[in-house]
Amino acid sequence: MSKYWLLTLVPFLGGLVLTAYEARIALTEHVLRRIGRRAEAVVTGHTASREGTYPSLHPVVRWTDEHGEQQEHAVVASGPGAHRLSEGAVVRIIHPPGVPGTAALDTPERYRTAVFGMWLGVLLWVGALAAVLIRIATLLPTYHY
């Protein structure tokens, strides 16, 4: 077996990691959409955070929860232009009951992106596995019956 067989480990393991990471996000979004409470909120500002190696802005929104209390938290924002929401803009948010600090914008883009990333990961690891199996099959001796 040559050292080039190890090169198939990169897309295989990368695909497994990508599939697991995106599947976790998709599952979290699915559960949030099933049990979450939706509310109208007003953007009051932005907060900066570092995700990976680049800074990003998250909108800070204020809304009234189901108990009549005012809540103000930074929300998980995804999609193009989510960081460009102007102050005073009215947005729809979704949050788990009793945990208003984990609110997210009520858009399907985060779920769609997670599902796309999950299938891309599956394509990577299945493709690497198929390439290895095809290569093994071509190396097997042929039998004549």
Residue 17 vs residue 64, higher pLDDT: 17
Has this prediction a pTM greater than 0.75? no
Domain range summary for the chain, segments of one domain joined by +: 3-139
The two three-digit tokens of residue 3, written as one number: 């050292």
Distance CA 122, CA 119 (A): 5
The percentage of residues in the chain with a pLDDT greater than 90, rounded to a whole number, is 27
Distance CA 36, CA 34 (A): 6
Which helix (H) or strand (E) element contains residue 47? strand 37-51
Average pLDDT, the chain: 84
Q: Are 61 and 43 in contact (CB under 8 A)?
A: yes
CA nearest to 96, candidates 40, 45, 29: 29
pLDDT in tens, 34-65: 998 888 999 988 877 766 666 677 788 898 88
pLDDT in tens, 85-100: 788 889 888 888 887 7
Distance CA 78, CA 19 (A): 19
